[in-house]
Structure 1
Amino acid sequence: MNLAVIPARGGSKRIPGKNIREFAGKPLIAYSIEVAMRSGLFEKVIVSTDSQNIADVALQYGADVPFIRPVELADDYTGTRPVTNHAIEYCRQHFFEPQLCCCIYATAPFLQVDSLLEGYQELHRQQDKAFAFSVTSYAFPIQRSLRKINNGVEPVFPDNIAKRSQDLEETYHDAGQFYWGRSNDYLSSKKIFSDHSIPVVLPRHLVQDIDTEEDWLRAELMYQAYMRDHN
């Protein structure tokens, strides 16, 4: 039995009300809820929130909100791991023993069922791994990155600045969509960003952080273009 946990705090500072703000026609969190439910992978899809407004929207779109998140897990410094662990333990006490848990971000409108399924299948295939999460490649080699210094710039990695892109190792970053894990491993000290994890590689056109108003505009334009090509 599997559990999906969607953390959705009410106190977003850079984009107030971000999790339930309308994105391309419906609340942003609705996309994550709908994909999780459509996947058929989860016995429960729980939204963990400290906000009654977010809870009301989550319930409207079919998620469970069996608790309001404790105050100590709702400040600006609490990461998603403690929030996910709290939901796992709550599920164990009140519903069922989840074998796997998937933390899904509330700000992932590009999330695809196929990506969730790939992470799930890879964890079953590679029994020695604890987690599987979404990554995507950098659009430009980080080995040729620059930093601003005084009135100019300098290479961060001087030995690589003159190398051709195709001669440099491709690198990846967290795509910020989902994090599958075995429940016992979530509750352990194992780190997600380590060799305990399986990377699920997503195409760059399906990844966009939404942390600023500029991000929001870009993501909405990307989403609208994607939907035009896939409808």
Structure 2
Amino acid sequence: MTVGYFGIIPARGGSKGVPRKNVRNLAGDPLIVHSIDAADGAQRLNEYIVSTDDEEIRQLSREAGAPAPALRPDELAADETPMEPVAEHALKEFVDVTPETLVLLQPTSPLRGSRHIDEAIERYEETSATSLVAVTEDHSNRWRRTEKGAVRLNYTDGTQRRQKKQPEYVETGAIYITDVASFRDTGDFRAGDTALYVMEDDAAVDINTEFDFWLAEQFLHWNER
């Protein structure tokens, strides 16, 4: 059977910045559950699974109603393991349908909701791109250190006003969409021509530190008001 949009939520048990963050309570639910709820509510996502190396995450995911198959191997659970081989493993070992398009939803983006997933898919369909990444606009004046001091990266004279500066875009990690055939050929979520889906800054928090966790919780409580 062929499905259009197939989602993968990759969740590791280990984490250096925020220990056990995927099972940690965030505004009333484990962090992983926020992405499960978003996937469940997305109208354009046909199916999805949670891929994890951790039994507690697997059980929490199942209790939340998510398909969570057998644990992935330890070699795909290290801090430095990129998401591409995790997705390749999930497609090969756990997916019994033939997906046309892969949607990666990292659980460290708990403010990415169902609406964002649907809008990203709609944006992807509006273009002729083979992949899409979720981004935020950035108007910062950037520098890079050198042996002699530092150099400007994206502006030349003086301090440019935000309103006049051409925006750049920063990946949020919240949503990646790619044509499965292109992904299998390249092993890259950003295969071929890549489109951008611009998210609001307050929906793009990516949890890597305790401050990120605190900030996400503040936004979630604010949205409940």
TM-score tier, shorter chain, comes to: 0.7 to 0.9
* Counterpart code for 1:156: R
Deviation of 1:29 (Å): 0.7
Give 3-state SS (helix, strand or coil) of 2:186's partner. Answer: coil
Q: How many residues are matched?
A: 220
- Tell me if the contact between 2:172 and 2:204 (Cα under 8 Å) persists in the aligned partners: yes
Which of the pair is proportionally richer in strand?
2
- Tell me if the contact between 1:91 and 1:97 (Cα under 8 Å) persists in the aligned partners: no
- Tell me if the contact between 1:155 and 1:161 (Cα under 8 Å) persists in the aligned partners: no
Out of 141, 147, 156, the residue aligned to residue 152 of structure 2 is 156
2:63 matched to 1:60?
Answer: yes
Give 3-state SS (helix, strand or coil) of 2:53's partner. Answer: coil
**RMSD of Structure 2 on Structure 1 (CA):** 2.3
Distance 1:51 1:163, change over 3 A: same
Over residues 176-229 of structure 1, what are the superposed CA-to-partner deviations in whole Å (9 max), with x where a residue is unaligned? 21111111122121744576211111111212121111111111112211221x
Identity level (%) = 28
Separation of aligned partners in 2, 1:101 and 1:162: 41
| Correspondence 1:1-231 to 2 at 5 A | 1=3, 2-92=5-95, 95-126=96-127, 128-138=128-138, 141-142=139-140, 144-146=141-143, 156-157=152-153, 159-189=156-186, 191-193=188-190, 196-228=193-225
- Tell me if the contact between 1:134 and 1:178 (Cα under 8 Å) persists in the aligned partners: yes
Over residues 11-57 of structure 1, what are the superposed CA-to-partner deviations in whole Å (9 max), with x where a residue is unaligned? 11111110110000010110100110111333432111110011011
* Counterpart code for 1:183: V
* Counterpart code for 1:208: V
Separation of aligned partners in 1, 2:15 and 2:35: 18
Give 3-state SS (helix, strand or coil) of 1:177's partner. Answer: strand
Separation of aligned partners in 1, 2:143 and 2:123: 36
Distance 1:192 1:46, change over 3 A: closer
Give 3-state SS (helix, strand or coil) of 2:8's partner. Answer: strand
Structure 1 unaligned residues grouped into runs of 5+: none
Give 3-state SS (helix, strand or coil) of 1:134's partner. Answer: strand
Separation of aligned partners in 2, 1:163 and 1:186: 39
Structure 2 unaligned residues grouped into runs of 5+: none
